[in-house]
Structure 1
Amino acid sequence: MQGQPHQSGGKTRNQPPHPSPQTAHLQPGVTMNNPAFTERGLMIDCSRGAVPSIPFLKRTAERLAAFGLTHLGLYTEDTYTVSGMPFIGFGRGAYTKDEIRDLDDFCLKLGIELFPCIQTLGHLEHIFKNPRFKPFSDAPRILKVNSPEAREFLEHIILEAAEPYRTNRIHLGADEPWGLGLGSSLDFSSPVPPKQLYLTHLAHLSEICAKHQLNGMIWSDYILGHSQNVPLNDDELRAIPQNLTLDYWNYSVLPEEEHIANIRRLQKTGCTIWISPGLHSWNRFFGDFARAVETGETFFRAAGKCGIRSAMTTLWGDDGAESLFRTNFASAAYHLLSMDNPGNTLETTAERVAAAGFPLERFRLLNSLDNRAFIANDPPEVNWSAAKQLFYDDPLYGFLLRLTHLRDFGNTLEEVETKLRELPAVSAEDRELRRLGRLFAKALRLKLNTSALAHMGWKQKNRNTLRRAARAARKAAEAVRAFGKEYEKQWLDERKPFGLEIPQTRIAGVAKRLEHLTGRICAFLKSGQPVPELELEFPDGYTPRDAGTAYASAASKCHNTIWMM
C-alpha cells in the first residue's frame, strides 16, 4: 500500500470553533429569525468535470452568506491531496491542503462551516482507473468491502480528506453502490448478500468516525431502495450505526406524502437526518431554475413537517460540467431562502437576486432554451436538456434534429437572443451571463438552420438550397467558435483549467463538423461525391432515447446523453 494510515486521534488544527448554527448566519443587513432549517448548506461538485478555484469559492461563500448559508461542502471524489498517494487527483486539479486551510479560514470569518464530501464505497472510478489502486477495488467503481487492505486504504483517505478542515464533519458518500459484492470478490460457492456487505461497510465507517472523533454523514438512497436495490427492512434499519448522519437526497418531483414517508422510514434508525434537494445543474449548459423551484419547495415543506432542521442543496457536475455556477445562482438563492422560510416566494427571490446583481428574468430566459415542448415523443420522466443535446447533435446526421419543431424552437432562440442583448446590465456578472446566453442561442439557432437546410436541400436535390446550407454552415461555425471563446473565459473565471479540455473539444468538434458539412456539400456540387449521412433513413418509432444513443456514439462521446435517457 502506498503511504501509511493516518494515526491522528482527532483534528489537529488548533483553531477557534465555528459559531453556532443559530448565530453563524447573521450577516450584515440580513436577519433570519427562527429559520425553518438551522443548518443551511450548499454542496458544490469539485471533481466531476470541473474544480472550482479558491478565489471563486471565496466570492461564492461571501455572496451566499447574505442568503443565509451556514455550511459549504466540497464534493471531491479524488480531487484532494492524500499523503503518500500522489496519483490520487493527479492531473485533475486536486486541492492542496494549504488551499483548503486558506478557504476554511475565510469561511470561518463569514460564520460558514466548510467541510469535505468524499466517496467511500461507490463513485471511486476516478481513483480506481489507475491500476495502482486495483487491489482495493472490487469492480471499476466499487470498494472491496471485505478486504483488510481496502479497509486500511479507506481509513487513510478519510483522514487525509478531513485533515485540513477545522470541522469534524465529513460526508462519506456511499451512494449508488451499483455492483456491490459482484466484482472480483464474488465467491459463487458462498456469495455475500449486497445488503450485508453494505451494513458491514457502514459499521466500518462508524468505527473510523468513533476512533477519530469524526461526524460522518452518508447518502440514504441505498437504505431506501432508491439505488436499483431492495430497501433495508426494519431489522436492517436498526443495524445502522447511530453515530452516522443520514442524508436523504431526492431530485424528483414527488408528492409531499412520499417525501414524508421516506423521511419517517429513515427516522426509524435513530440517526440524525439531513435532506438534500438538487439544483438541476447537470446534463445542461444552463441551470434548470424552474425544476429546482418545483422540486425544492415540496421537499422543504415535507421535511419541515417531519421536524428536520438540516438541509443542504446540491450543485452536481457531470462528465463535462458545462453548467457554470452563475447559471445556477438563482436556483441556489431560492433554495437557501426556502431553507429559512418554506413559504419563500418567487417574488421574494426575484428581489433578492436582483439586489445581488442577477435579475431573475435572465434565468427564466435561459430556462426557455430547454423547452422540451418543441421535441416530438419527449419522454417526460427523464432529466435532459434539449438545448445541450441539440447543440452537440451532429449537423450531418441530425439525430435529434429530426424530432424538433424547428420553426417554433428557432423563434424561441431568436427571441431569447434579442432579449438578452437588449436587457440593461445591472452588474458585470450579469453582463457576462447575458453574453454567454446570447452567444449560445445564436450559435444554436444558426447551427440548426444549417442542418435543416442541408437535409431539405439533399432530400429535394435542390442545388440552390444546398449552396445556402454551405454558406450557412460557415457562419454557424463562426458563431460556435465565438460561443466557445466566451465559454472558456467564463470557465476560467470560476474554475481551475483542469477539465476545460472536455467542453473545449466538444465545442470545437461542433464547429469542425459544420466546416466538414460545407466541404462535403461543395464536393457534391462540384463532382457529385455522395453524402451518405444525409441519406440516412430513420426507423419507425424513433424517439429522443434513440437520438441520445446514436448521438453519443457518433458525435461528442458524452456519456450523459445515454445515461440521462
Structure 2
Amino acid sequence: MLQLYTEDTYEVEGEPLFGYLRGRYTHEELSAIDDYAFDLGIEVIPCIQTLGHFGQVLQWPQYTHLRDNQEVLLAESEATYEFIEKIVKAAASPFRSKRIHLGMDEAYGLGEGRYAQLFGFKEPTKIFVDHLKRVHEICSRLGIQPMLWSDTAKNNTLQGYYDESSNPATPELVESMPQNIDLIFWDYYHTNPDVYEQKLKQHRDLGCRQPWLATGAWTWSRFWTALPFTFASVRASTVTAKNKNHGVRNTFITIWGDEGNECDIYSALPAMCYYAHHGYSSQDEIDISLLKLSFEGICGASFDDWVFASKAIIDDTPSGLPITQRTHYAPNTSKWMLWEDPFVSFLSPQYSDEDFETHYRSIAEHLFDALETKRNLGPLNLRLEFPARIATVLSLKCHLRQRLEDAYRKRQYEQLYDLAQGRLSRLREEVDHLWRYHRQMWMKMYKPFGWEVLELRYGGLRTRLETMYDQIMAHVEYAMTTKDSLSESDPLENEHARIEEFEVDLECLFFGSRTNLLLDYSRAATSIRHG
C-alpha cells in the first residue's frame, strides 16, 4: 500500500487556485502512478485533508467564505461540504482504490474563529464529530471507504493526544462516532512500547476494534533522515503492532516534507528497510547483519555510511546525544546552524563548548572518501555528497563569528583580514557549491515548484555572508589607514569605524542540553520576529 499525501497538490476542476503554483499533480500523472503501482501489486490510496491543514488554500481571498481560521475549514457551512465533495471526487477518481484518507488531524482552533461568530460556541469535539458525519455521508454516497487520523478535537494538542491519562473515549463520543471508519493512531515520538499499548487500548475503547498504527521516518525539518532515532521509535511502534492482543492489522511508515522539504528523501531508505525487516519477523529484534546486506543489495549503498551521515554529521554533536525512553524527538542541529545568520550568529552560544570544527571536518572527509572509494560497490553512495557538502560548510561556519569578534575586539586587524580573506571567503565558496548541488538534486527529483522556498534561504545566507565580508574589509581598511586611534576618533564620522554586530555580548538562549534543539527556519535565521 502507498498512501500518496496531498493537501492541495492535485487538480480540482473549476478551482484554479487549489494547488496554485504548487506543482499539483494532473489527473493523468496520478493515473500513471496508480498504473505503475498496480503492476507491482501495490494499492495507492489518496491521502488528503478535509478540515485542518488548509492554510495554502485559505490564504486566498476567493476562499474566505470557507475559513474558520487560517488553517481550518468552516464546519457546518453548506458551502464547505460542497467544496469537500468536489475535492474528494477529484482526489479519488484517478485511483483504482475505493479507500481514501480524509486527514482531519491537527485542526487547531476548530470552532474558535468565524465558526463562533456565525454559529455560536459549541464544544469542539461535537463540531468535529458532526463534521466527520457529514464528510462520511459524502464518502458513502461516492462508494468510498474513509480513514482518518485519530487526534480528534477532544485532544486538540499533541500533548493531549499522547497523554496516557487522557482517554477521549467518553460515552458521548463513542455513541456519536461513525462505526465504519478506520482510525489511525500516529506516533513518531516515543521509544517506549508501553506508550503505544496504552493509546491503542484507548482506541479500542473508542469503538475502533482494529486501529491502524502509523510510525514515521524522521525526514521533516532537516537535510538527512534522523536514522538512529527513527530506528528507536519505529521499533517501539512495530513491536507493539506485532502483538496480536492489540488488534492492529494495518501499519505504515510515513515520510513528511515539513519546513521546506529540504531533506534528501532517499536518506529514508535505511528506515524503510529496517521497517520492512520488522514486518517480516515475529521477533522483537531483527538480524542487523542481514538488514545491512539487504540494504546494500536492494539500494546499492552502504548502510553504515548512510546511518553515519545521519548520526555523526547532520544532527549529532561531538559529545553525542544518547537516545533514551525520555527522548521524544531528533534535533536538527545542521539546519539551524546552517541557516542561522552568520553575522549576528545569535545561536552560537548554544555550542560554544563543543568542537564542531573538528567534528564536521572529519566527518566530511569520511563521507567524501566513502562516496569515492565505494562508488563501484554502492552507486547510491554518491548521494552522500549532499551531507558531505553540508558538513564542509558547517565546519567553516561554526565558531567563525566568535573568531572574528575576538580579533575585532583585540584590534588584531591582520588577523581579522586573514579570517575574512581565508575562512570567510572559503565559506562563501562552499555555500555556493552546496546551493548548486542542492538545486541540481531537487530538479532531478521534483517539479521546480517549491524550490523557490529553499533558494530564498540560500539567497539570504549568501547575501548576509557578502555583507559580512564587505563590512569587515571596509573596517580593516579604515582602521589601517586612519591616522587617529579608534579610541580617539568619532565613530559617527565614518560608518566603517565600528562593527557593531561584534560589540554585542551574546547570550545562551536555550538551556539543558544546549544543542538538543529542533528549530524551524524562521526561528533559526534571525533573533528578530517578523510582523
Q: Same fold (TM over 0.5)?
A: yes
Deviation at 1:461, TM superposition (A): 2.8
3-state DSSP class of the match of 2:3? strand
Determine if the alignment matches structure 1 residue 366 to structure 2 residue 309.
Answer: yes
- Asked if the contact 1:469/1:518 (under 8 Å) is kept, the reply is no
Matched with 2:288 is 346
Rounded to whole Å, the distance in 1 between the matches of 2:520 and 2:56 is 26
Per-residue CA deviation, residues 30-63 of structure 1 (Å, 9 max, x unaligned), is: xxxxxxxxxxxxxxxxxxxxxxxxxxxxxxxxxx
Determine if the alignment matches structure 1 residue 442 to structure 2 residue 392.
Answer: yes
Matched with 1:491 is 442
Match of 1:286 among 218, 224, 239: 224
Rounded to whole Å, the distance in 2 between the matches of 1:313 and 1:243 is 23
Matched with 1:516 is 467
Matched with 1:99 is 29
Deviation at 1:479, TM superposition (A): 0.4
Matched with 1:225 is 155
3-state DSSP class of the match of 2:114? coil
3-state DSSP class of the match of 1:284? coil
3-state DSSP class of the match of 1:483? helix
3-state DSSP class of the match of 1:138? coil
Determine if the alignment matches structure 1 residue 241 to structure 2 residue 178.
Answer: yes
Matched with 2:408 is 458
Deviation at 1:416, TM superposition (A): 1.3
Match of 2:43 among 96, 99, 113: 113
Per-residue CA deviation, residues 508-545 of structure 1 (Å, 9 max, x unaligned), is: 32222222211111111112522222222234665469
Matches within 5 A, 1:164-183: 164-183=94-113
Match of 1:393 among 309, 330, 340: 340
* Structure 2: stretches of 5+ with no match in the other structure: 161-165, 480-495
- Asked if the contact 1:224/1:231 (under 8 Å) is kept, the reply is no
Per-residue CA deviation, residues 91-117 of structure 1 (Å, 9 max, x unaligned), is: 110000000001110100001111111
Cα gap change, 1:474 to 1:276, in 2 (>3 Å) = same
3-state DSSP class of the match of 1:402? helix
Rounded to whole Å, the distance in 2 between the matches of 1:340 and 1:219 is 25
Cα gap change, 1:485 to 1:550, in 2 (>3 Å) = closer
Matched with 2:361 is 414
- Asked if the contact 2:357/2:395 (under 8 Å) is kept, the reply is yes
Matches within 5 A, 1:37-436: 71-187=1-117, 190-222=120-152, 225=155, 227=157, 232-235=168-171, 236-271=173-208, 272-305=210-243, 306-341=246-281, 343-355=285-297, 356-367=299-310, 368-369=312-313, 370-372=315-317, 383-405=330-352, 408-423=355-370, 424-426=374-376, 430-436=380-386
Rounded to whole Å, the distance in 2 between the matches of 1:146 and 1:189 is 8
Rounded to whole Å, the distance in 2 between the matches of 1:298 and 1:322 is 27
Per-residue CA deviation, residues 263-297 of structure 1 (Å, 9 max, x unaligned), is: 11112333342111110111111110001100000
Instruction: Answer with 408-417 or 186-195: which moved more.
Output: 186-195
Deviation at 1:339, TM superposition (A): 2.3
Deviation at 1:142, TM superposition (A): 0.5
Letter paired with 1:102: A
Cα gap change, 1:309 to 1:514, in 2 (>3 Å) = same
Rounded to whole Å, the distance in 2 between the matches of 1:149 and 1:541 is 47
Deviation at 1:375, TM superposition (A): 9.5
Per-residue CA deviation, residues 241-282 of structure 1 (Å, 9 max, x unaligned), is: 122110110011242122111111112333342111110111
- Asked if the contact 1:145/1:197 (under 8 Å) is kept, the reply is yes
3-state DSSP class of the match of 1:251? coil
Cα gap change, 1:540 to 1:409, in 2 (>3 Å) = closer
Q: How many residues end up aligned between the 2 structures?
A: 489
Deviation at 1:380, TM superposition (A): 6.2
- Asked if the contact 1:463/1:525 (under 8 Å) is kept, the reply is yes
Rounded to whole Å, the distance in 2 between the matches of 1:511 and 1:431 is 28
- Asked if the contact 2:420/2:469 (under 8 Å) is kept, the reply is yes
Cα gap change, 1:548 to 1:279, in 2 (>3 Å) = closer
3-state DSSP class of the match of 1:453? helix
Rounded to whole Å, the distance in 1 between the matches of 2:337 and 2:327 is 17
Per-residue CA deviation, residues 451-500 of structure 1 (Å, 9 max, x unaligned), is: 33212222333223211221111110100110111111111221111111
Identity of aligned residues (%): 25
Deviation at 1:556, TM superposition (A): 6.8
Per-residue CA deviation, residues 356-394 of structure 1 (Å, 9 max, x unaligned), is: 212112222211121146599xx9655430111111111
Rounded to whole Å, the distance in 1 between the matches of 2:128 and 2:354 is 52
Rounded to whole Å, the distance in 2 between the matches of 1:502 and 1:404 is 27
Cα gap change, 1:417 to 1:156, in 2 (>3 Å) = same
Determine if the alignment matches structure 1 residue 536 to structure 2 residue 504.
Answer: yes
Rounded to whole Å, the distance in 2 between the matches of 1:292 and 1:549 is 18
3-state DSSP class of the match of 2:168? coil
- Asked if the contact 1:453/1:468 (under 8 Å) is kept, the reply is no
Cα gap change, 1:261 to 1:123, in 2 (>3 Å) = same
3-state DSSP class of the match of 1:139? coil
Cα gap change, 1:541 to 1:269, in 2 (>3 Å) = closer
3-state DSSP class of the match of 1:334? helix
Matched with 1:48 is none
Cα gap change, 1:500 to 1:253, in 2 (>3 Å) = same
Deviation at 1:119, TM superposition (A): 0.6
Cα gap change, 1:223 to 1:140, in 2 (>3 Å) = closer
Rounded to whole Å, the distance in 2 between the matches of 1:227 and 1:248 is 14
Rounded to whole Å, the distance in 2 between the matches of 1:344 and 1:523 is 61
Cα gap change, 1:540 to 1:391, in 2 (>3 Å) = closer
Letter paired with 1:282: W
- Asked if the contact 1:224/1:262 (under 8 Å) is kept, the reply is no
Letter paired with 1:284: R
Rounded to whole Å, the distance in 2 between the matches of 1:421 and 1:540 is 33
Rounded to whole Å, the distance in 2 between the matches of 1:89 and 1:556 is 30
Deviation at 1:345, TM superposition (A): 3.8
- Asked if the contact 2:343/2:401 (under 8 Å) is kept, the reply is yes
Rounded to whole Å, the distance in 1 between the matches of 2:528 and 2:148 is 29
Matches within 5 A, 1:4-23: none
Rounded to whole Å, the distance in 2 between the matches of 1:500 and 1:556 is 21
Rounded to whole Å, the distance in 2 between the matches of 1:410 and 1:380 is 26
Rounded to whole Å, the distance in 2 between the matches of 1:293 and 1:407 is 26
Instruction: Answer with 112-121 or 539-548: which moved more.
Output: 539-548
Deviation at 1:224, TM superposition (A): 7.2
Instruction: Answer with 299-308 or 381-390: which moved more.
Output: 381-390
- Asked if the contact 1:375/1:405 (under 8 Å) is kept, the reply is no
Cα gap change, 1:507 to 1:374, in 2 (>3 Å) = farther
Rounded to whole Å, the distance in 1 between the matches of 2:32 and 2:70 is 34
Rounded to whole Å, the distance in 2 between the matches of 1:548 and 1:314 is 19
- Asked if the contact 1:279/1:292 (under 8 Å) is kept, the reply is yes
